[in-house]
Amino acid sequence: MLDAPVPVREPETPAAPPASPFPLELAGLSARHAGQERHALDGFALTLEAGRRVAVVGASGSGKTTLAQVLLRFLDVEHGTYRIGGVPAWELDGDEVRRFVGLCAQDAHLFDSSVRENLRLAKVGADDEELREALRRARLLDWVDGLPAGLDTLVGEHGSRLSGGQRQRLALARALLADFPVLVLDEPAEHLDLATADALTDDLLRATEGRTTVLITHRLHGLDAVDEVVVLDEGRTVQRGPYAELAAVDGPLRRMLEREEETDALLTGAGRPTFLAK
């Protein structure tokens, strides 16, 4: 551990945080993990304004999760710029960056405690009305209200008493309660069955409407709701634009969509994919 390279270097004298994180800008950004020869991100660019939602898609290993690590200052950039409200991110204290940019990951940790206490990790003084509103937005309130102990229901170690979908919805509710100016959702529907994954995606897109969001996903369901889709391949942006435009032309996203519908048809036994039948 002592010999391991430090993934992020904190500034000796941090800059004052900006009043607003917007615009949040990445330009010509390249980053690599320790021991890797190839950049995990290479020449990446992204601009986020308040309320803008962007989906970043690509196969496993395309650089999607690396982007999340860079945005939260868990990984330093090698080249390019990352500015938050005009201030270079590496001049800010890492905790200040993470007050602006929050993460809801596929493996978000749940503690062996109650629903209430797991939510209050995001906002210590939150009252029951605030907790219930976060659960409602994550489409989990009806389930909690139906439990004998309600908000005081124990979730078990790592959320073992919950289904995969319930764990992710509880993690989403916690992220919504924290009210980060920029919310990064890293593969929130990973490891869920298709029906649960797609329902969760629909709900999280509904819950984040009007909120600046970066949705990182390998699945394309529901992405017509976001403002822009960025397609990554081996760390490079190979296509970007509105989902409907990208799906309508021959290119990387269209090929991803065709493969997804073929796979879904095989898994559900639905026969020929609707996309290919058109």
The model's pLDDT over 205-241, given as tens digits with 9 standing for 90+, comes to 999 999 999 999 999 999 999 999 999 999 999 999 9
CA 206 vs. chain centroid, Å, equals 14
Report field, pTM of the whole predicted structure over 0.75: yes
Residue 26 has pLDDT above 70, yes or no: yes
The C-alpha atoms of residue 42 and residue 4 are separated, in whole angstroms, by 24
**What is the four-CA torsion angle of 207, 211, 216, 220, rounded to 10 degrees?**
60
Tell me, what's the pLDDT at 119? 97
Residue 270 has pLDDT above 70, yes or no: no
* Residue reference for tokens 């080249």: 79
| Of 234, 252, 236, 233, nearest in space to 80 by CA | 236
CATH of domain 24-105+182-267: 3.40.50.300
Domain range list for the chain: 24-105+182-267
